[in-house]
Amino acid sequence: MENVHQIRDISYFKAVSPCTQPIADATHHISEIAFVVTRITLESGVIGEAYLLSFHYSPHTIAGALRDIRELALSADVTAPGRFIAQYEREAEYFGHAGIHRWALGSINLAMWDAWGKTLGQPIWRLFGVCHDRVPLYGSGGWLSYSMPELLDEVSRYVARGFSAVKIKVGSPELEADVERLARVREMVGPQVNIMMDANQGMTVANALRLAEAAKSLGISWFEEPIAHTDFDGYAHLRRQAGLSLAMGEREFDTVALRELIRREAIDLWQPDILRLGSVEAWRASAALAQAHHIPVLPHYYKEYDVPLLATVPNACGAESFDWVDDLITRPIRMENGYAYPNPGPGWGFAFKEDRLTPLG
């Protein structure tokens, strides 16, 4: 008997968001804002989609991993995503679970959940039970490649849209440049708007401490990824000495770092990346571990997935907002007065526009 919940076909596409100029943080120069879209079709005809943010990095590696997982995922049952995770982890173990294999798994897993929600006629957030009907947003960007006028223009537009928090990149070659950028933003937004800073692992412990000390008078809310994400003892030292809350997690493929940072009392906010963790299940497991230790969850980048999932966990702190994907999809997340609302449609509640997709070679 045919199982209508099995995956009949899988296809991949590329979508690109307009980028008027290259952007850069302390460790990366980004020339293209590109996405890889996974589309699965069930025997019932229901379609599920997912996307990952790929920028311009390693396109052949990503495409290869997706081609490999396709053969395993065909005929998988979307009502049993956990079973498929276990099957794929056995297959992927030889070359390692961390890295590109997790991205491929996350792409299939998110598409499976989208298709299952559509089959049930329910949004994902209703499948897990609701804790919140909205979550706070913060405006992200503040790239080091921006001139001062460009930085202030971006921040002013976030504030005009009702955002009560913005994040600024730091890690300039000269500490004074970071302090000046933060000070100018504080001067423009006033005391009511929260300012966070993100070094993208681009600093040493000593330089991060110097910046934290210099920025104390500016009322910085938290310091994201000041140093290498594997330097757990460095995070512990910074948290004791810096006088600022520390946020970390976007580079993690499992909860090892969260466990080690908790053990050292070295983290204040957990920032899971759902594609790197590889599944809805792993995202929620990491949020539960954080909740058990009274740590708020503030995920990395994927607001289209994070906002619905944050609505289902008690320790939701907020979501990161970029607008890059908004023009590429049918129903962007509703954002009003600094809050985001999960889409009411079934599954994740949106689809990619056909005219913005090209088949992935």
* Neighbour count for residue 75 (Cβ, 10 Å): 11
Q: Is 151 exposed, middle or buried (0-12, 13-18, 19+ CB in 10 A)?
A: buried
Query: CA-CA distance, 166 to 164, in Å (whole number)?
Result: 7
Whole-number percent of the chain with pLDDT over 70: 99
Mean pLDDT calculated for residue range 267-292:
98
Phi, psi of 223 (to 5 degrees): -115, 115
CATH 3.20.20.120 maps onto the chain at 126-341
- For the domain 7-121+355-359, what is the CATH superfamily, name and number? Enolase-like, N-terminal domain (3.30.390.10)
139, 137, 140: which is closest to 23 by C-alpha?
140
User: How high does pLDDT run on average in the chain?
Assistant: 95
Whether the pLDDT of residue 266 is over 70: the answer is: yes
Q: What is the pLDDT of residues 52-85, one digit of tens each?
A: 999 999 999 999 999 999 999 999 999 999 999 9
Whether the pLDDT of residue 37 is over 90: the answer is: yes
Query: CA-CA distance, 335 to 50, in Å (whole number)?
Result: 21
pLDDT for the residue 91: 92
Query: CA-CA distance, 246 to 133, in Å (whole number)?
Result: 27
Query: CA-CA distance, 337 to 44, in Å (whole number)?
Result: 40
Q: What is the pLDDT of residues 207-263, one digit of tens each?
A: 999 999 999 899 999 999 999 999 999 999 999 999 899 999 999 999 999 999 999
User: Alpha helices of the chain — where are they, by DSSP H?
Assistant: 59-73, 81-92, 100-120, 124-127, 148-160, 175-189, 205-215, 232-242, 256-263, 274-277, 280-292, 303-310
- Rg of the Cα atoms in the chain: 20
CATH 3.30.390.10 maps onto the chain at 7-121+355-359
| Furthest C-alpha separation in the chain | 69
User: What single string gives the DSSP state of each residue in 193-240?
Assistant: SEEEEE-TT-S-HHHHHHHHHHHGGGTEEEEE--S-TT-HHHHHHHHH
Confidence band (pLDDT; 50, 70, 90) for 1? low
* Neighbour count for residue 203 (Cβ, 10 Å): 26
Whether the pLDDT of residue 296 is over 60: the answer is: yes
The answer to whether the CB of 205 falls within 8 A of the CB of 231 is yes
The answer to whether the CB of 311 falls within 8 A of the CB of 123 is no
Q: Which residue has the tokens 């759902």?
A: 274
Give residues with Cβ within 8 angstroms of 156, minimum separation 6: 188
With residue 47 as reference, give the H or E element that holds it.
strand 47-53
Q: What is the pLDDT of residues 98-124, one digit of tens each?
A: 999 999 999 999 999 999 999 999 999
Paired with 260 in beta bridges are: none
The answer to whether the CB of 286 falls within 8 A of the CB of 272 is yes
pTM of the model: 0.96
The answer to whether the CB of 166 falls within 8 A of the CB of 348 is no
Give me the CATH code for the 126-341 domain, please: 3.20.20.120
Mean pLDDT calculated for residue range 325-343:
96
The answer to whether the CB of 12 falls within 8 A of the CB of 37 is yes
Residue 176 token pair = 């004074």
Q: What is the pLDDT of residues 307-322, one digit of tens each?
A: 999 999 999 999 999 9
Judging by DSSP bridges, how do beta strands 334-336 and 339-341 pair with one another?
antiparallel
pLDDT for the residue 21: 76
With residue 15 as reference, give the H or E element that holds it.
strand 7-17
Q: Which amino acid is at 35?
A: F
Confidence band (pLDDT; 50, 70, 90) for 19? confident
